[in-house]
Each structure stands twice: as C-alpha cells, then as structure tokens.
Amino acid sequence: MAELVYLSLGSNLGNREAHLRRAIAELETMGTVRALSSFYETQPVGSINQPWFLNCVAALETEKSPRELLDVVLNIEAGMGRVRMQEKGPRNIDIDILLFGDRIVSEPRLKIPHPAMQERRFVLEPLVEIAPDVRHPLFKKTASRLLQELNENQIVRKI
C-alpha cells in the first residue's frame, strides 16, 4: 500500500537548484511526487563556515518501506557524488526522510520522524507551505504549530 512521505532536500555546493531538481527527478522513479515546496535560500545551521543552502520539501507517495526508501535516498546521494567528509558540512545534495505516514521508526540507521525536524526552520517553512496540517506522530502537533512554536532564528528566504 502506498504511503505519503515527506522529504527535505538541500544543497549548498555547485549549482544548488540543478542538484535539487536532479534529486527530485530521481525520487520520481520511486513513486509519485504529490507536492513540492518552493525553493528556500537558508542560512547554514551550526558552527561550520559554509555557503548558504537551497532547500525544499517534497511529498512523495511510495510503495517502498522506510528502510527501502532510506536505501534509495542514500543511493541517490551517492550517485550524485555526495561524499560525507564532515558532519553537517558542505554538500551538493542532502535528502532526509522527515515523516513516513504516521509511522514511528527507531533503528540505528533510521529515525522517523526526523529527530531534529521540529528545530529547523529550513524544514518547517517549506513543509508548512505544502502540508500545514500534517501531524508529527510523536508530538501530535501540526507542522504549522511546530513552526509557530519555533524559537530558532535561522534566516530562511523563499526564492
């Protein structure tokens, strides 16, 4: 049975928009993209000095299991040349599974919902654009409510 999954995509190296569009096209081979947010230019989070990101959120309807989707996402990243040299460092593509229906998954390699999504404006603003009423399965709050409660002051600009 197909489920609706929300994915966060980001890039801060090279042609950021082209990287996002290529990753979205790759995801479409695994299901149907039901919604895609605008692109947002976002200030990097953390202490690493790096270029600003371009981010978006996609709603993907897929028959894949959470673990299968994680493998697909990692393969897309690897196929696009992502090298993990520094945690939260610069990258040409980053794809995170935010929500997978109302599932809660806690495995060593996979945490759903994404454990930090409620702390990230660069995730919540594009998510609210396409799915303001989607509920976080642990906090039982909508994406809109999580964004309203966010104290984090990261700069996020809709393109």
Of the candidates 89, 62, 75, 70, the one whose C-alpha atom is nearest the C-alpha of residue 5 is 62
Instruction: Annotate 87-126 with b (16+ C-beta within 10 A) or e (fewer).
Output: eeebbbbbbbbbbbeeeeeeeeeeebbbeebbebbbbbbb
Q: Whole-angstrom Cα distance, residue 124 to residue 86?
A: 24
| Residue 34 neighbours by CB under 8 Å, 6+ apart | 4, 59, 60, 61
Q: Judge whether 133 counts as a catalytic residue.
A: no
Reply yes or no on whether 145 is catalytic.
Answer: no
- Identified catalytic residue from 16, 96, 120, 145: 96
Active site (annotated) includes residue 121: no
Q: Which of 16, 91, 120, 121 is catalytic?
A: 91
- Which is the catalytic residue, given 22, 34, 82, 121? 82
The residue annotated as part of the active site, out of 16, 94, 121, 145, is 94
Active site residue ranges:
82, 91, 94, 96
